Amino acid sequence: MDIRTAATHFASCSIMSKYLESADFVARYMELDTAKVSTASSTFATIPPPDDVVARLGNFNLTWSDLPPLAQQALLWDMGFVAASVGGSDQWFKVYVKCGLTMAVIFVPFAEFTATGDGQSQSALACNATQGSVYSTYYRQQLANYTQVDSVLRCAIALDAYSEGNSAMMAQDAMAPTDVPELRVLRHEDPVAQLTKPAIHSTPRRSGAEPAWGKCSSTSSGLVVPCEVYGQHTKSLNICRPNGSSVMTSWLQAIKTTVNTTKPGTTSPTRAPVSSHAVLTELSPSPTIDLFPLEPTPAADSNSWPSSSLGSYVGVGVAVVFLIFLWFYCRRRYQLQFPTNRNPMYYEDTSDQDSLQSLRRQLHPFASPMQVDTQPALTLLAEVRHKELQYNALIFDGFLLSASRFDVYYGHCGIMPVAIKTLAVEFCGEQAAVDEFAHEIHLHSRCSHANIVAVVGFAWQSTIATLALATELLQEGTLRDYLEKQQPGSDWHAKATVALDIARALNYLHTEVQPTIVHCNVKSTNVLLQWPHAKLAGFDKARQMIYDQMLTGSITSTSFTAPEALCGDDYGTPADIYSFGCLLLELDCHTPVIPHFSNSLVEYDSRLSMENLVSMTETMTCPYEIAQLIKQCLERDPAMRPSALHVIDQLEDIVRGYSACEP
């Protein structure tokens, strides 16, 4: 069955719950802790916690023993550590994920699993849930082609001689609400392909052995998360350690407030239970975790301050003041030096609006108190939750520019320089502006390609109208900036390489992202340079083709816009190819195809007739092969234009030819 049919099938055959296909064990352990579910019968690994876990606890002045058992298990999971038995002894194994993901999203939905490859090599076994489960039916893996499933797996674990699973390597959750998951890594063999895969099992051991492959469980059955073998594939994206979740961080903060901080010898207070509701409420609408928590020391008796310790206190105080001064000095130095190394970029120059820019610099970027309906935006952003950042992780160092309805700042996230895009203050209260910005973030965050500007993350605070999108910061400006400084006819090897990069970005959007994304705004100001390569940006007009249906409605921007899209006819990926043809034409003449184009369709018909375009291509100075490619891309009939993949083939031949001619 295809993925749409499968999704409907798997959803309709069970009483849906948030943990059916969710690996969010942090939230699950927290709920069990709040409900005071006993862990007496649980058999967690008893080996010491990894050093990374101890270090994270140290940031909160906590020790391993300060945490209740369920918080211990949650923290291990949150940091990507799962136990496995090797030679009869437990060991910690690291879980690797796609960069930027948390552990909560590493389970692959069954609909996606069964649609992998030829859509027939993967199948599922329907099982009736046992008494106590919140489900009526759940699914376990039946058939699996280990070679094909690697393309969709969201985690990787190093292969070792840990215990054999002898069971399904993937399963939905069917545990009772009071069951405590016990996470373990087990091996699974594909006897046909002779391949081995690790999988993370969560069934409590008290429920007995996992059912054999092809069988349903007669007791509680937990989620089974399949992973690929770490380091087995050079193109694997599962190469990063997981991001810590804001939920776990807030839980640790809450635990810290309940830990006994009194002097030795006094009665220790009883630890108050940490409510999962309280923690999640604290996170809504957006997490605001302190990146540099400085906790006050317990109050001391002013009459009993030992005079012999005065020197120590003074020394510590001086050291603290020095470190604070050093931090601010480095921060200030970074802020002062960074703007001198950058070029105006992303959008057109706005130097004629000095008074407006001066006003924006004085305003906090989120000064508007206006409220909008949050539901449309939150629905979109929920699908890319793995890209959500703690709001105070974004540091605004300075103002870059304004364009359309947006302000762009430069800053950093951790040590990474970023561009931060926000709604301009005057648009923060407009529902359409907020919804369209969320749509842009949703589509752009789904993209991960070397020739597309990378999304670092998004954040918001207090109201959804304060949305901020952080992307990698490319300091070499736009393609438009570059062409304005060069003479026409200059190095076509370099220009063909730039064009090839953008063609690769379009091919990714058109064939690899599902649903397909049509960029709808391919132009030189949305091409950013990282010499000698280029990346595509500007997803504010992008749209996705649901079920490959053609898009409708006209695109208001006229420069570089395909005739069918401009006139309100159905359009799809060929519209991007037309815009790409205009981009190639600009690469030749170094000026926009229509520098002062209005929104008049009459003017469009008179100035962009095919006769005029043919005339323009006849005066080009570019190589013959480029000229022919431009004519193909600018065909009025969308069906006659080449695909992005065909464009790539032609440009690769051209670039390869230039390389062969170099000394």
Report pLDDT digits (tens) over 478-509: 999 889 888 776 678 889 999 999 999 999 99
CA 386/CA 448 separation, integer angstroms = 13
Asked which of 446, 472, 498 is the last residue of a domain, the reply is: 472
CA 608 to chain centre: 40
pLDDT digits (tens, 9 = 90+) for 114-150: 776 555 567 788 887 765 555 567 888 877 777 778 8
Of 420, 444, 472, the residue at which a domain comes to its end is 472
Same domain, 465 and 499: no
Place of tokens 């438009």: 480
| Count of other CB atoms within 10 angstroms of residue 367 | 11
**Residues 443, 510 within the same domain:** no
- Asked, for residue 282, whether it belongs to a domain, the answer is no
pLDDT at 366 over 70: no
Under 8 Å CB-to-CB from 421, ≥6 apart: which residues? 406, 407, 408, 468, 469, 470, 471
- Domain containing 453 — which CATH number? 3.30.200.20
Cis peptide before 532 (omega within 30 of 0): yes
Please report whether residue 140 resides in a domain. Answer: yes
One domain for residues 69 and 35 = yes
Query: pLDDT for 51-94, tens place per residue?
Result: 989 988 988 889 999 999 999 999 999 999 999 999 889 999 99
347 has a pLDDT exceeding 70: no
> Which range has highest mean pLDDT (266-270, 318-322, 489-493, 557-561)?
489-493
What is the rounded CA–CA span in Å between residue 587 and residue 658?
A: 17
Look at residue 185 and tell me whether its pLDDT is greater than 90: yes
Q: Using the structure block, give the residue that is written with the tokens 């979740």.
A: 245
8 and 108 inside one domain? yes
- What is the Cα–Cα distance from 165 to 442, expressed in whole angstroms? 38
The domain boundary, picked from 438, 456, 472, lies at 472
Query: Could you read off the pLDDT of 228-262 as tens digits, one per residue?
Result: 999 888 778 888 888 888 889 889 989 998 885 54
**Range of 181's domain?**
3-240
**Together in a domain, 465 and 509:** no
